[in-house]
């Protein structure tokens, strides 16, 4: 899933944040967690663009850069996403897109609220810009949310995969119906096309028509 944007969904307790930690840990490249909500995020704590840039400059090899994990502690989701985007773009430009930078935004409705005035590319939303404009610089955006319908929809169409963790709840009904997730098919190498029924079960969905389950797994409990 290198440089392919992802929508990570699942209700509280289903394993979404645990899965997010695992995705960050296993990412082959720089990973920045936009930590605006005091989450127990992995990585070295940084509080500014300068500290993120210093972390890269302190790496002694490209392999070390690709293992860099940054817990970017910030007060505001949108301004935090803007700073993380600036950093991710600079990494892509400096390394000629050889290094993929993952930017993860948990509780992403705070950075991409369901409002055209706040969340469109035209109006300068940094997450929307990241989704629409930055894949050429090898920037991968992961939006984590309990309910994807809380996000402004047009930018999320750039997400190549939906990763769903844990059981679907009643408040997810509109999302499930919109993407026809009750009529999913399974890829050739996947037997079960159903949504998860237990916590920490994970389904990777290609939101085509009809949508396809392309991978099933369980999140490693060590990331809980």
Q: What is the pLDDT of residues 134-191, one digit of tens each?
A: 999 999 999 999 999 999 999 999 999 999 999 999 999 999 999 999 999 999 999 9
Answer whether residue 1 shows pLDDT above 60. Answer: no
Residue 197 lies in a domain: yes
Residue 46 lies in a domain: yes
Residue 172 lies in a domain: yes
| Rounded distance between C-alpha atoms, residue 77 and residue 70, angstroms | 16
Residue 64 lies in a domain: yes
In total, how many domains does the chain have? 1
CATH of the domain at 188: 3.40.50.300
Beta strands 44-46 and 139-145 are unpaired
| Rounded distance between C-alpha atoms, residue 117 and residue 212, angstroms | 33
**Count of beta carbons in the 10 Å neighbourhood of residue 22:** 20
Instruction: Tell me if 51 sits within 8 A of 83, measured CB to CB.
Output: no
pLDDT digit string, tens, across residues 58-67: 999 999 999 9
| Rounded distance between C-alpha atoms, residue 208 and residue 224, angstroms | 31
Beta strands 201-206 and 161-165 are antiparallel
Residue 1 lies in a domain: no
Task: Name the residue range of residue 117's domain.
Answer: 6-223
Share of the chain above pLDDT 90, in %: 96
Q: Give the closest residue to 151 by CA, choosing from 3, 4, 9, 2.
A: 9
pTM: 0.96
Backbone angles phi, psi at 162, to 5 degrees: -105, 125
Instruction: Tell me if 145 sits within 8 A of 110, measured CB to CB.
Output: no
User: Which of the four pLDDT bands, split at 50, 70 and 90, describes residue 3?
Assistant: low
**Count of beta carbons in the 10 Å neighbourhood of residue 117:** 10
Residue 200 lies in a domain: yes
User: Which of the four pLDDT bands, split at 50, 70 and 90, describes residue 224?
Assistant: confident
């Amino acid at each position: 899933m290198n440089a392919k944007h992802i929508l990570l969904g699942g209700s509280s307790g289903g394993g979404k944040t645990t899965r997010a930690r695992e995705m960050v840990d296993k990412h082959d490249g720089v990973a920045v967690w936009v930590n605006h909500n005091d989450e127990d995020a992995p990585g070295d704590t940084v509080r500014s663009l300068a500290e993120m840039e210093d972390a890269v400059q302190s790496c002694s090899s490209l392999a070390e850069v690709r293992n860099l994990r940054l817990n970017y502690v910030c007060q505001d989701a949108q301004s935090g996403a803007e700073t993380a985007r600036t950093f991710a773009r600079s990494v892509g430009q400096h390394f000629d897109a050889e290094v993929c930078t993952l930017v993860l935004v948990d509780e992403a409705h705070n950075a991409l609220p369901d409002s055209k005035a706040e969340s469109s590319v035209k109006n300068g939303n940094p997450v929307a810009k990241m989704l629409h404009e930055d894949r050429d610089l090898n920037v991968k955006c992961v939006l984590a949310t309990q309910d994807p319908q809380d996000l402004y929809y047009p930018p999320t169409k750039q997400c190549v995969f939906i990763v769903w963790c844990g059981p679907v709840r009643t408040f997810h009904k509109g999302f499930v119906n919109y993407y026809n997730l009750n009529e999913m098919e399974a890829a050739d190498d996947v037997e079960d096309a159903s949504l998860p029924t237990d916590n920490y079960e994970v389904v990777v969905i290609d939101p085509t028509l009809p949508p396809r389950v392309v991978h099933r797994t369980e999140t490693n409990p060590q990331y809980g």
